[in-house]
Amino acid sequence: MHPARIPPLLAILALTACGGDAGPQAEQPSAGLVIGGEEAEVSALYQMPTPNELFGLVRQMAGEGHKRMLNPASHVDKYASLRARAINFGVYATDLVYASSFKLNVEVARYYLTSKKLAQSLGLDNAFSDADFVRLESNLTRGDSLEVISNEAYQRAYERMQQERMGPVLHMVLAGGWLESMHLVMRQIDAFGQSEALVARVAEQKVTLDHLLGMMEETKADPDVAEVYARLSALRSIYDQLEVRRAPHGGASPSGRMVLGEDMTVELTPEKYAELSKAVTDLRNEWIKPEGGTNS
């Protein structure tokens, strides 16, 4: 063979390597990660904030956490379908982060194990390790450490789903997590009393819901995701009825940093709040309802 023919062959082999058929799934590039190139159509990546960021903001104005608001851990064995397992992994992982944010220390341990169980059923074994549970147990009196350990576990699960091309599962997990965050903040309002600041946080979740649904566009052809997408879209239709007002920010930021973009107010009237609250409760009741089968 003439040396001059080597480069095209190399090119063919390189392209074959790009195809990624031979390697194990874990080593293949995620469609959602590769940017540019003819083979990669996705050039937009989406990230959802971890629940602790919202709970950190809510905690400042919402008093104590309440364990009765969490999805009962005893349900964990009763989610058999992939959709129920994925959604409720998102629910339980959010409950775990809520418990650690509000220093419900016994619940942190309980929901760590509960999340771990569903994580295993989704192939995310490494995200919730026994070593971390030991670490968590030894830090039960240190709320800040629990928050760090819980968030690390949540983040590992999230990253694992991205790396393993688990798009539909990831999106259902995030949907469950988003709904549980909404539920927890709204129930916090019930427990703590009507607070303008907390209601404003609920109103702003319009933005995160738009973001989540934008993210799910990529996988909504999946029948399970399609159903979840449709239910969340119905919730968004309530948000779409709210008036959104924008105005330039007046004055400087208290921190002295530049203010990015305009101020925005989403007008959530008591009637619309009640409608949204009912819709969130109904959907959550449906999603966390134990199924007939078992996953254990």
Partner 1 sequence: MTRNVIQLLAAAALLAAPFSPAKAQSECLTYHKFNCDRSRDARFSVNGQSRSALVKVGEETELNIIVYRGQDYRISVCHDSKILGEEVAIRLVEKLRTASDGEDGKRTYSETEKVLWDNTEHEMASEIEFSCTATKRIAVKVNAPGASDRKGKAADLDIGCVGILIEHMPTPGIGF
CB of 75 to partner 1, least distance (A): 26
CA dihedral 229, 230, 236, 238 (to 10 degrees): -160
Single out the residue of 2, 130, 223, 254 in contact with partner 1 (rule: CB under 8 A).
254
**Out of 137, 144, 190, 240, which residue is the one contacting partner 1 (CB under 8 A)?**
240
Coil, strand or helix: which one is 265?
strand
Q: Residue 226, interface with partner 1 (CB under 8 A)? A: no
Q: Is 272 in the site for partner 1 (CB under 8 A)?
A: no
- H-run or E-run covering 163: helix 143-163
CB of 196 to partner 1, least distance (A): 13
Crossing angle for the helix pair 143-163 and 167-192, to the nearest 10 degrees = 150
Alpha-carbon distance of 98 to 103, in angstroms, equals 8
Residues in the chain: 296
Q: In this chain, which stretch among 33-41, 86-94, 137-145, 186-194 interacts with partner 1, using CB under 8 A?
A: 33-41
Which residue lies nearer to partner 1 by CB, 32 or 65?
32
Nearer to partner 1, 74 or 237 (CB): 237
Residue 163 sits in the site that holds partner 1 (CB under 8 A): yes
* Structure tokens belonging to residue 69: 């608001």
The angle formed by the CA atoms of residues 52, 53 and 54, to the nearest 5 degrees, is: 90
Which CB atom, from 255 or from 296, has the smaller least distance to partner 1?
A: 255
Interacting residues of 149 by C-beta distance below 8 A, sequence separation 6+:
100, 132, 135, 136, 139
Which residue from 4, 68, 256, 296 is in contact with partner 1, where contact means CB under 8 A? 256
27 near partner 1, rule: CB under 8 A: yes
Q: Given candidates 249, 282, 286, 294, which one binds partner 1 under the rule CB under 8 A? A: 249
Site size with partner 1, rule: CB under 8 A: 61
**3-state SS, residue 264:** strand
Angle between helical axes of 51-62 and 196-216 (0-180°, round to 10): 170
Q: Which residues bind partner 1 (CB under 8 A)?
A: 1, 6, 9-10, 13-14, 16-18, 20, 23, 27-30, 33-37, 43-50, 53-54, 56-57, 60, 151, 154-155, 158-159, 163, 204, 207-208, 210-211, 214-215, 240, 249, 253-265
